[in-house]
Amino acid sequence: MILDGKELSKRINNEIKQKISGYCEKNKQIKPGLGVIIVGDRKDSLVYVNMKRKMCKQVGIESRVIQLSANSTTDNILGIVQIFNNDPSVHGILVQLPLPEHVDEEKVLAAVKIDKDVDGFHACNIGNLAMSGRTPLFTPCTPLGCMRLLEEYKIPLEGKNVVVIGKSNIVGLPISLMLMKKNATVTVCNVHTTELQSKTVQADIIVSACGQAQMVRGDWVKQDVVIIDIGINHIQDPEHPDQPDKKKMVGDVHFEEVSEKSSHITPVPGGVGPMTVAMLMENTYHAFIRQVSSSC
Amino acid sequence: MILDGKELSKRINNEIKQKISGYCEKNKQIKPGLGVIIVGDRKDSLVYVNMKRKMCKQVGIESRVIQLSANSTTDNILGIVQIFNNDPSVHGILVQLPLPEHVDEEKVLAAVKIDKDVDGFHACNIGNLAMSGRTPLFTPCTPLGCMRLLEEYKIPLEGKNVVVIGKSNIVGLPISLMLMKKNATVTVCNVHTTELQSKTVQADIIVSACGQAQMVRGDWVKQDVVIIDIGINHIQDPEHPDQPDKKKMVGDVHFEEVSEKSSHITPVPGGVGPMTVAMLMENTYHAFIRQVSSSC
């Protein structure tokens, strides 16, 4: 069975659109706003920012994108963060990652006002995500999208053996923390993990976020495994072997092989990707509602 | 081989004592100070606070213990936290956990000034502990003590299979985060974990913090495993079966059985316990040095 992120995200985006238009009809001139900062011109980052901007427009969020040159200093970026922090028409702030190497990412993310931190990367939000009994103001969008998919398809988590491949701050770490909170038994793997296959083959659920095209093969998984594939990789299109510039987007999981055995699997594209954008819309909407309610 | 926390902690405490006396000789009238808040009269908490108070005296830290009655409100406790926050002679603040059920623990811990948070439980400290590339101001004492023991005995962590039993905010969670940061492959187990033994038997390193007396038996581990036993449990002393009030302190691991197979093991008592207290002394000393340097 396909975990259909495209379908679910469409429904969530529609709900948010209705909520926003409902709110705006009653409260003229107030609209949710998202401030986006992008530094440099990485092609993938530009694509992501564009997708987010388009979805904002669709659901009724006013987006303001500030693009800074790749050689901007930490202070330049902090200046924009402060402008967004102080602007009451900006309810959510998104700093598109990765930032150029010379920028102090920690300093930039820590400067985002915690109640506008719709990406959920502020240290306090991550700390509250980690600790049981605590609730962060915002949860990072990609892991949140994965959890919503699991919830939608009623995949039980408590007591399940989950293998997470990758431990990045943006995806692998936060989703591991969320799964731990749901009482799953979580094994967090990284590039130094030995005998990865011997671990994945025991897993009830595999979450892959390592950026290795089609690494998880059919013989890496057990029957009826649930697969969340967060990888976005571009390989030579096998249907056009003679055209090296024809690319195909694939995940970390070999879909054709693994889907034969899995009970549930996210496709790439159309799985986690659209959920990430929908969760950003949802986080921004919640930031908006929280800020306009507290200022009334 | 015994991972001798008693010996290592003695050395660390001595080093701190010398550093403090060296500092105080040069800077008359300034002494590190630790403010301790204990609510209620749980016997175990009183024992721990007493041990900490004694060690403070020994190394030259001025401790001030405020004991509040078990029916104190969150606001009562917050009042004391504020007094300690504002007192320049208090460099570290420790709220002895657990707090009574009716108290808002999250609110109390969040109120501790982050640069006096020597227990490392502030959400921002936990967030920075979790994220790679970040360093918290303070790391929780018990997990930090375990890591120092592993370091002292040169136990490699990168790529090793580690099973952590327990995922409490105070021990299981933070030590899992620290081991992940060292590139170990960490499996975090909890009460809902199925077939725990099948997991421990594959582990290169087992960290147990579940409070189940002697649960990990000889056939739960593989040859040459490394054992960190954080459990503190009191059982009927088997040498005095006729005296029900004679208790013996044991860990989560059956020491006699497991030590036959392990390459390294912490005893209980004399393993992790004294390291926890030494790390509190070290954290308080660092808080002191940071505060007096920044105010000069």
| Out of B106, B184, B187, closest to residue A134 by CB | B106
Per-position DSSP letters for A124-180, written without gaps between them: HHHHHHHSTT---S---HHHHHHHHHHHHTT---TT-EEEEE---TTTHHHHHHHHH
Given a cut of 70, whether residue B111 has pLDDT beyond it is yes
CA–CA dist A111, A119 (Å, integer): 13
Residues in B closer than 8 angstroms to A122, CB to CB, are 127
Partner-chain contact A186 B187, CB within 8 Å:
yes
Residue with tokens 């990485």: A42
Which residues fall within 8 angstroms of residue B2, CB to CB, at 6 or more apart?
B264, B265, B266, B267
Query: For position B25, what pLDDT does the model report?
Result: 87
Select from A103, A124, A128 the residue whose CB has the most chain B CBs within 10 Å, as the one to mutate to test that interface.
Answer: A124
Confidence band for B36, pLDDT divided at 50, 70 and 90: very high
Task: Tell me: pLDDT of B65 over 90.
Answer: yes
> What confidence score (pLDDT) does residue A32 get?
97
Structural domains in chain B, CATH included, are: 14-114 (3.40.50.10860), 141-273 (3.40.50.720)
From residue A252, alpha-carbon distances to A147, B10, B72, B292 in Å are 18, 49, 53, 51
Which chain B residues have a beta carbon less than 8 Å from that of A130?
Answer: 126-127, 130, 173, 177
Q: Is B127 on the interface with A (CB under 8 A)?
A: yes
Pseudo-torsion of CA B165, B220, B155, B190, nearest 10°? Answer: -10
SS3 (DSSP) at B48: helix
What's the confidence (pLDDT) of residue B45? 95
Question: CB B180 to CB A173 under 8 A?
Answer: yes
CA distance A161 to A27: 48
- Which region, left, alpha or beta, applies to residue B64 given φ > 0 means left and ψ of -120 to 50 means alpha? beta
- Give A186 to chain B, closest Cα distance, Å: 5
Contact residues on chain A for B184, CB-CB shorter than 8 A: 192
Could you give the CA distance from residue B186 to residue B176 in angstroms, rounded to a whole number?
Answer: 7
Contact A37, A94 (CB under 8 A): yes
The verdict on a CB contact (< 8 Å) between A193 and B185 is yes
In the chain, the amino acid numbered B280 is L
3-state secondary structure of B227: strand
Q: CB–CB of A268/A234 below 8 Å?
A: no
**How close B242 comes to chain A (CA, Å)?**
40
* B50 three-state secondary structure: helix
Mean pLDDT in chain B?
96
pLDDT of residue A25: 87
Q: What is the pLDDT of residues B115-152, one digit of tens each?
A: 999 999 999 999 999 999 999 999 999 999 999 999 99
Active site residue A52: yes
Indicate yes or no: CB of A105 within 8 angstroms of CB of B133.
Answer: yes
How far is it, in rounded angstroms, from Cα B165 to Cα B207? 6
Contact B130 A130 (CB under 8 A): yes
Q: Kind of pairing, strands A33-39 and A62-68?
A: parallel
pLDDT at residue B295 in the model? 64
pLDDT score for B30: 86
Report which DSSP code applies to A263. S
Helix (H, G, I), strand (E, B) or coil at B67: strand
Contact yes or no for A85/A113 (Cβ under 8 A): yes
Residues of chain B with C-beta less than 8 angstroms from the C-beta of A173: 130-132, 180
DSSP string computed for A199-240: HHTT-SEEEE-S--TT-B-GGGS-TT-EEEE---EEEE-TT-
Give the model's pLDDT for residue B296: 52
| Predicted local confidence at residue A28, as pLDDT | 77
Low-confidence ranges of chain A (pLDDT < 70): 295-296
Q: What is the pLDDT of residue A117?
A: 98
Catalytic residue among A4, A117, A119, A252: A119
**Per-residue pLDDT band at B244 (split at 50, 70, 90):** confident
**Pick from A224, A275, A272: which is nearest to A251 by CA?**
A272
Q: Residue B28: what pLDDT?
A: 77
Touching check for B124 and chain A: CB below 8 Å?
yes
Instruction: Reply yes or no on whether A119 is catalytic.
Output: yes
Put simply, the answer to whether A127 touches B132 (Cβ < 8 Å) is no
Q: Are A287 and A141 in contact (CB under 8 A)?
A: no
pLDDT of residue A27: 86
Burial status of residue A271 (CB atoms within 10 A of its CB: 0-12, 13-18, 19 or more): buried
Q: What is the ipTM of this complex?
A: 0.95
**Residue of A126, A132, A186 lying closest to B127 (CB–CB):** A126
Q: How many residues does chain B have?
A: 296
Interface residue of B157, B187, B204 to substitute, partner A, most A CBs within 10 Å = B187
Of A127, A132, A159, the CB nearest to B124: A127
Shortest Cα distance from B246 to chain A (angstroms)? 36
Residue A9 CB neighbour total at 10 angstroms = 26
Active site includes A219? no
